[in-house]
Amino acid sequence: MYRVKKQVGCSKELQCNRENKVTIAVLDTGVARHPDLEERILDFYDFVDGKKNAYDDSGHGTHVCGIACGNGRISEGRYCGMAPQAGLVVGKVLDKKGDGELVSMLRGIDWVIENRKKWNIRILNVSVGVGQLMNELKEKMLREKLEEAWKEGILVVCAAGNNGPECGTLSDIGNSPRLITVGCHDGEYFKDKANRCASYSGRGGKFATFRKPDIVAPGTEIISCNAACHKNRAGYSNAYISKSGTSMATPIVSGALALLLQKYPSYDNETAKRKLLYSATDLQEPWYQQGWGMVNVERMLE
């Protein structure tokens, strides 16, 4: 995350707005009570097994949450997330293998909508790839439910999926013109690495009438919170772990949007989306790969 924040222009000074509290909702495999996250967790609901206390038996959701808004406590700030002042509302909709039922996801979205005013939820992060839930009809139902959340004033940020690099390989929910779809690109980092995230990030259609993915962010070997973190006599062990994929790129954008809405709380979805896209750094890649370009926090907050 230290490297990522330098890449996307997210300085410590830009992260320090404490006046306007914004909450990010995450629908994933859950969240562990990691020391970097426990103060961020405002609410948790388990749509898989019905457990009451926050947990993550996969690790994926905890890693995503750490990228979005971990405070970097154990690492003395080095692995701090994008928006360390933001709150977290987490729904567990995927099991320990990262699989889930459509009904759990739909219930999770309804739960986020119902609680949006209670917790000031302005952003919903969906790092769920195609094939984890899905057939074509189910994806259509999910996309429509996510668009309902958007209409209720929640910025929906979803992963482009990891089925690239061919054109037309986006997750179907990512093909919505309204939702913000995040692909993966690490800029100059890992450009010679065979399995870098950009090499399998989902692509939009070559002749599509709108740019998809909307934007890209780093997603290769991102170090963030590990659900297996535990305390011992020397302090903490296994506090952080490296993961790659568009699932990791997505909360970078969610966290960036939280910073934007902390600074400009009156922005509606369309205004926030335009600020995000129009301030992006052009990577000189085709539209169907980079969308508007790499998220640029400093420029977005000007």
**Listed residue (182, 38, 158) closest to 109, CA to CA:** 158
Question: Which ranges in the chain belong to alpha helices (H)?
Answer: 2-7, 60-69, 102-114, 116-119, 136-151, 246-263, 269-278, 287-290, 297-300
> Cβ atoms within 10 A of the Cβ of 263, count?
15
Joined together, the tokens standing for residue 218 give: 């780093």
Our measurement of the distance from residue 202's CA atom to the centroid of its chain's CA atoms, rounded to an integer in Å, reads: 15
- Which residue do the tokens 């986020």 mark? 112
Task: Take residue 99 and report the two structure tokens written for it.
Answer: 């699989």
**What is the maximal distance between C-alpha atoms in the chain?**
58
3-state secondary structure of 182: strand
In 3D space, the residue among 288, 273, 301 whose CA is nearest the CA of residue 179 turns out to be 273
In total, the chain counts a number of residues equal to 302
Instruction: List the catalytic residues.
Output: 28, 60, 247
Other CB atoms within 10 A of residue 177 CB: 12
Pairing of strands 23-28, 230-232: unpaired
Written as one letter, the residue type at 249 is A
At 214, list the tokens: 């909307």
Query: CA-CA distance, 173 to 205, in Å (whole number)?
Result: 14
Backbone phi, psi, residue 107, to 5°: -65, -40
